[in-house]
Amino acid sequence: MSLLDIRERISNARSVAVLTGAGISADSGVPTFRGTDGLWKNFRPEELASPDAFERDPKLVWEWYNWRRELLSTKTPNAAHEAIVQLEKQIENFWLITQNVDGLHRTAGSTNMSEIHGNIWKVRCTNCGTIAPNHDVPIDILPHCPNCQGLLRPHIVWFGESLAQEDLDASFRALQNCEILLIIGTSGLVYPAASFAPIAKEHHAFIVELNLDPTPNSNLVDISFQGRAKDLVPLLLPS
């Protein structure tokens, strides 16, 4: 089965879900923030992206997130992000689930989506809970809520925190109802994303994986293509 065959399937589908991970952002030059790329002042992400770290030293955590925002502010959506926007416009029932926090899908124009790990360009008040966009680069450290003066934190799901139930519910609905699931640029190892392909398969979706390398999901999906997201995803667009 070729990419042309998949494109024809998509053109005839009424419902499509898409799951994206770090691989799609890598094509925009976004670092993984893990391994050697993720080191900052000798700290690893696991040491900083947690409620305990923020409670212990909010200034340090915000300095790290400001560094990340400065890096991300130079990045722009690539052809894969843009192709997903076009899919949303062409498919009657479309939902995007992204594990990425860089906001590139939203910048590209995606709207029917769940950012299940949050968005680095949003802040949340630790006092009143207000969530608001914030694109300040650099951001004031420490930032405070304009409504109640409470301390702001990044609107990110940290280690040890649960995903928002609203995002999970929307994601599960999309997975249970889609005819086609596209898995793009993710190994699907981390829960709950690790459960997404099995859920879609259980509900008889046709699953297509696009990734640089084979993944643990490759044996579960209906077809897997190896390559860069920016090269492959545009080829799936219906004419």
Backbone dihedral region for residue 41 (phi beyond 0: left; psi -120 to 50: alpha; all else: beta): left
Phi, psi of 198 (to 5 degrees): -60, -35
Clarify whether 204 is annotated catalytic: no
Residue 118 CB-density burial (10 A; 0-12 exposed, 13-18 middle, 19+ buried): buried
Tokens at residue 191, please? 């829960």
Distance CA 47, CA 121 (A): 21
Tokens at residue 102, please? 């860089």
DSSP letters along 157-196, please? --TT-PPPHHHHHHHHHHHHH-SEEEEES----STTGGGH
Query: What one-character DSSP code corresponds to residue 155?
Result: E
Marked catalytic residue, from 105, 117, 155, 204 = 117
25 neighbors 185 (Cβ within 8 angstroms): yes
122 neighbors 155 (Cβ within 8 angstroms): yes
Distance CA 180, CA 177 (A): 9
Residues forming the active site:
117
